[in-house]
Amino acid sequence: MEETKLGKVTHYFGHLSVAIIEITDGKLIAGDTIHVKGHTSDFEQKVESMEIEHKHVDEAKKGDAVGLKVKEHAREHDVVYKVISS
């Protein structure tokens, strides 16, 4: 599986299990698989839904800050990759 850098985690809301991800490269579409990697974080998951400013969106592009429900604890500065299936 190939991966391309998508962005980084800027905030994590533990009580909601939501990570705010700043998109710095490319775009993210609902249904894509992401890989969150950091000092102590390392997990993959499919993007089920995402929000920008509390509004549901199906796509996020460079410059957007998107909220994603995550299955594991994410930390600020974790790098987020988009997994590209071959």
- The model's pLDDT over 12-31, given as tens digits with 9 standing for 90+, comes to 999 999 999 999 999 999 99
Kindly tell me if the per-residue pLDDT of 86 is higher than 70: no
**pLDDT at res. 50:** 96
Which residue is it, tokens 């962005």? Answer: 7
Side-chain-facing half-sphere of 29: CA atoms under 13 Å: 3
Q: For residue range 40-53, what is the model confidence (pLDDT) as tens digits?
A: 999 999 999 999 99
Instruction: Please state which CATH number belongs to domain 2-84.
Output: 2.40.30.10
Beta strands 79-84; 2-13: pairing state: antiparallel
